[in-house]
Amino acid sequence: MTLKSWVNIDGVITPGEAARVSVFDRGFLFGDAVYEVLRTVDQAPLFWEAHRARLWRSARALCIPLDALDPSHLYAQMQATLAQADWGESSIRVIITRGEGEPAWGAGGFGQARWIIIVEPLRRPDPALYAQGCVLKTFGVARGDRGGLDPRIKSSNKLVAVMAIADAQAAGAHEALRVDPLGRILEGATSTFFLVRGGVLLTPPIAVGILEGITRAKVIELAQRLGVPFEEVELHIDDLPSADEAFICSSIRGVLPVRQIDQYVFSAPGPICRVILEGYERSLRGALSPSLG
């Protein structure tokens, strides 16, 4: 349990340790929920509109009705929760569950979806990892590794990620890199993945079965703006020995260089990763403008 946190459940803000949801909440019973995690910059939510849009897409894909939830009300509630934070930057987790019901499987007959906002101090990886790179361990998964659900849905059912991260950490790695049975590289347990080979930035397409990462999209936009050659292409585990650089991305980490994946070692941060990392960090300063927000 995080000691420092504030939680807003359907409009009631409490310190994290006092926050409670019913055991009959479908999120608890079945992982029947969707979520987003974002960070603040200068205490303001970063890329909220992109996160909001994905949250609504995920809910729609799971037929969680959000008709009664006004996005601007949710945003105002997020601001009210953030106003309680007496620390610097925050991470914000927004969860929408199908709500409360009998512990029966049917997804119909529920009242209102429930929303929960959790605000905690932002915990980014150790700065040394940005300077020296992190370590990934590959983790084999079936292609539809979320029980056949579309991987673009950011659902609260995270068991594969939990197991993959446990496997990586047991081996001393920082993050798991999910690989399908054909040896295709998908994404990290909670991150998207980029390689550099021969001066070209490469990342797997969404269609391989990955989340539409918001940081991934920003990195692609940045690469195009900076003139870094870029291609969306299926990557295979056999591409690792010839790769020059690698990095992972997520809303909390930003761009994090990778120095090792299993037995393969890379320069970290390599020259292209460095350009993207610095460009991304710089862009955050101006990111609260509507064009990037």
Instruction: Indicate the SS3 state at residue 119.
Output: strand
Q: Which is nearer to ligand PLP, 50 or 85 (CB)?
A: 50
Q: Determine the straight-line distance between the first and last CA of the chain, rounded to whole angstroms.
A: 31
Site string for ligand PLP, 234-253 (x = CB under 6 A): ---------------xxx--
Instruction: Please report how close the Cβ of residue 254 comes to ligand PLP at its closest, in angstroms.
Output: 9
| Residue from the set 8, 91, 191, 203 that interacts with ligand PLP by CB under 6 A | 191
CB 196 within 8 A of CB 225: no
Q: How far is the CB of 104 from ligand PLP (least distance, A)?
A: 29
| Residue 211 engages ligand PLP in binding (rule: CB under 6 A) | yes
Token duo for residue 59 = 């809910």
Minimum CB distance to ligand PLP, residue 37 (Å): 6
204 binds ligand PLP (CB under 6 A): no
Q: How open is the CA angle 33-55-88, to the nearest 5 degrees? A: 100
Phi, psi of 71 (to 5 degrees): -55, -35
- Cβ 101 to ligand PLP shortest distance, Å: 26
Q: What is d(CA 250, CA 186) in angstroms, rounded to the nearest whole number?
A: 14
49 in Cβ contact with 36 (< 8 Å): no
Q: Give kind and range of the element (H or E) at residue 117.
A: strand 114-121
Q: Does 190 bind ligand PLP (CB under 6 A)?
A: yes
Estimate to the nearest angstrom the gap between the alpha carbon of 129 and the chain centroid. Answer: 18
Q: Does residue 91 bind ligand PLP (CB under 6 A)?
A: no
Nearest to 214 by CA among 284, 264, 265: 284
Of the candidate residues 204, 213, 257, 269, the single one contacting ligand PLP (CB under 6 A): 213
CB-wise, 248 or 268, nearer to ligand PLP?
248
* Total interface residues for ligand PLP by CB under 6 A: 13
138 forms part of the interface with ligand PLP (CB under 6 A): no
Which residues form the interface with ligand PLP (CB under 6 A)?
Answer: 37, 187, 190-192, 211, 213-216, 249-251
